[in-house]
């Protein structure tokens, strides 16, 4: 990896020591994959009572973002495992490009119609039912809305590990969400009518 790549290591609930910073930096610098080229790397470590987590996001050339995270009992092991996941996804991405991977338009993508349900179809009575379960942990993060073709959105879905990708369709100028139904099969939800440029 080029030595001029910007690598930042930050901590949540932990002060990042020089040892942790050096360990994470060396692991990222040891990634020797010629494509996609890494432009910037961000490492976030989080230490809590019952878990230690490492999250790595690589910003690469051609607007490619590769992200992975791991939680375990040891912070260094979490960084190691996350690097392994990142490299696996980078190799997968490169292999697909070499094979000129493109999903079949007619078979691999389904468009779902929007349905609106009335309140009386809900399967609970909010007057006497139990309280809604409280979430254990909610993470708030920003989302970079990009314009791309659906094939590129599917590729982004595969290499990022995200459950879905929200994007603006470059051909039709509409917002769409693509998500995985099963291996090799995807679905697209279209949001609203055609948007103004």
pLDDT in tens for each of the 197 residues of the chain? Answer: 545 678 999 998 899 999 999 999 999 988 877 667 888 999 999 998 888 999 999 888 777 888 899 999 999 999 999 999 988 888 877 776 666 544 444 445 555 555 555 555 445 454 554 555 554 555 556 667 888 888 888 877 777 777 888 888 888 888 999 888 876 778 888 886 554 44
Q: What per-residue confidence (pLDDT) applies to 106?
A: 46
The strands making up 38-47's β-sheet, listed across from edge to edge, are 6-12, 38-47, 52-60, 64-72
State residue 120's pLDDT score: 53
Tokens representing 76 are 């260094």
**For position 197, what pLDDT does the model report?**
44
Query: Using CA of residue 80, residue 84, residue 86, residue 90, what is the dihedral sign?
Result: positive
What sign does the dihedral 88-89-91-92 (CA atoms) show?
positive
Are 180 and 157 in contact, with CB atoms under 8 Å apart? yes
Q: Give pLDDT, residue 196.
A: 47
- pLDDT score, position 21: 93
pLDDT at site 11: 93
Whole-model pTM over 0.95: no
The residues near 191 (Cβ < 8 Å, ≥ 6 apart) are 174, 175, 176, 177
């Amino acid at each position: 990896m080029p030595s001029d790549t910007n690598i930042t290591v930050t901590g949540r609930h932990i002060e990042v020591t020089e040892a942790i910073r050096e360990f994470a930096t060396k692991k990222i610098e040891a990634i020797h994959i010629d494509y996609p080229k890494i432009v910037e790397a961000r490492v976030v470590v989080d230490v809590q009572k019952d878990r230690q987590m490492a999250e790595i996001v690589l910003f690469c050339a051609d607007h490619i973002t590769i992200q992975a995270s791991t939680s375990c009992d040891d912070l260094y092991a979490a960084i190691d495992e996350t690097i392994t996941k990142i490299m696996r996804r980078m190799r997968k991405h490169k292999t697909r490009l070499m094979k000129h991977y493109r999903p079949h338009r007619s078979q691999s993508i389904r468009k779902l119609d929007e349905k609106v349900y009335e309140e009386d179809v809900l399967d609970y009575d909010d007057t006497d039912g139990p309280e809604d379960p409280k979430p254990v942990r909610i993470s708030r993060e920003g989302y970079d809305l990009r314009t791309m073709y659906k094939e590129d959105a599917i590729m982004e879905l595969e290499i990022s590990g995200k459950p879905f990708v929200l994007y603006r369709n470059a051909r039709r100028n509409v917002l769409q969400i693509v998500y995985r139904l099963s291996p090799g099969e995807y679905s697209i939800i279209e949001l609203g009518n055609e948007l103004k440029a």
